[in-house]
Amino acid sequence: MGPPGAGKGTQAQFICREHNIPQISTGDMLRNAIAEGTTLGLRAKAIMERGELVSDDVILELVRERLRQPDCVAGCLFDGFPRTVGQADGMRELDISVDVVVELQISDSLIIRRISGRRVHEASGRVYHIEFNPPKVDNVDDVTWQPLVQRHDDSETVVRARVEVYREQTAPLIEYYKRSGVKYYEIDGEATVNEIRQNISDLLKTADT
Ligand code: ADP
Ligand code: ADP
């Protein structure tokens, strides 16, 4: 968990590699649906461009379908899901149990800097930052050499709306999970990528899951 720009996607990739589990990023799944021009994608596009949330029903159906794939049998990592109490309740109804929650904490001023410098390789979801995590060659993906793009919803106005949405609709999940008895870890999201990576790796070892 964490606001936009907290580093969820960046750290999710490391955790998934270390624990050999798939990364289930509802944001990436929605962007793929838009790229493929599916009905769901067409519906989600305008909502995402305003920085609002796609409905709980749509998201839960997307996740339910994804979890039927065989790579999820040994568990998975959710990145950017659940984002509302309704989604967390929906997970319980689907018997999806949560072992560990990792919350990345960062200040509002850093959110804007992180997001305005974010560049992505659309096909793979690989994430860079022009200042903090630049690609080897400006504006080009390190692996495929294809161009990087800025997400449509990464403009400053939309990011401010997304931060509001996070505070109002997603932040209540912090108390929700703290009260539920799952292992809940708060991580300083303002440290370097490698420091955070190490902190999470150490915590997950002690979590013994
Ligand atoms: P989220 O998935 O939470 O929205 P990302 O992982 O996409 O966040 O990170 C947002 C931006 O900040 C990206 O450009 C990424 O390269 C950069 N970034 C991520 N973690 C750090 C960090 N610890 N320090 C500096 N920049 C970071
Ligand atoms: P970030 O990590 O920068 O917050 P994401 O890629 O996770 O962004 O999400 C981008 C957008 O996709 C959100 O602003 C929202 O419109 C939509 N979205 C992603 N995940 C969810 C979700 N679990 N519930 C509702 N909307 C979602």
Contact 2, 105 (CB under 8 A): yes
**pLDDT, mean of residues 160-171:** 97
* pLDDT given for residue 127 in this prediction: 92
Predicted confidence (pLDDT) per residue in 148-157, tens digit: 999 999 999 9
CB under 6 Å to ligand 1: residues?
2, 4-10, 114, 117-118, 127-129, 132-133, 192-193, 196
Backbone angles phi, psi at 160, to 5 degrees: -60, -40
208 vs 111, residue with greater confidence: 111
Of 54, 57, 51, 59, give the one whose Cα is nearest residue 4: 51
Q: How remote is the C-alpha of 94 from its chain's centroid?
A: 21
pLDDT at 125 over 90: no
Predicted confidence (pLDDT) per residue in 24-60, tens digit: 999 999 999 999 999 999 999 999 999 999 999 999 9
Of the residues 31, 45, 126, 151, which is catalytic? 151
**Has 50 been annotated as catalytic?**
no
pLDDT confidence of 208, banded at 50, 70, 90?
A: low
38 to 26, 34, 128, 150: CA distances (angstroms): 15, 6, 27, 22
Predicted confidence (pLDDT) per residue in 83-107, tens digit: 999 999 999 999 999 999 999 999 9
110 vs 207, residue with greater confidence: 110
Indicate which atom in ligand 1 lies nearest the CA of residue 128.
16
Q: Is the CB of 118 under 6 A from ligand 2?
A: no
Q: What 3-state DSSP class applies to 48? A: helix
Which residue in the block uniquely carries the two structure tokens 């509001």?
164
Provide CB contacts within 8 A for 23, sequence distance 6+.
12, 13, 15, 16, 76, 77, 79
pTM for this one? 0.95
Percent over 90 (pLDDT), the chain? 94
CA of 27 to the centre of ligand 2 (A): 4
Secondary structure of 155-181 in HEC code, one letter for each residue: CHHHHHHHHHHHHHHHCHHHHHHHHHC
Predicted confidence (pLDDT) per residue in 8-18, tens digit: 999 999 999 99
Contact 41, 35 (CB under 8 A): yes
pLDDT at 126 over 80: yes
pLDDT at 207 over 80: no
Q: What 3-state DSSP class applies to 22? A: coil
* pLDDT given for residue 110 in this prediction: 95
Q: What 3-state DSSP class applies to 18? A: helix
Predicted confidence (pLDDT) per residue in 129-144, tens digit: 999 999 999 999 999 9
Q: What is the mean pLDDT of the chain?
A: 95
pLDDT at 1 over 60: yes
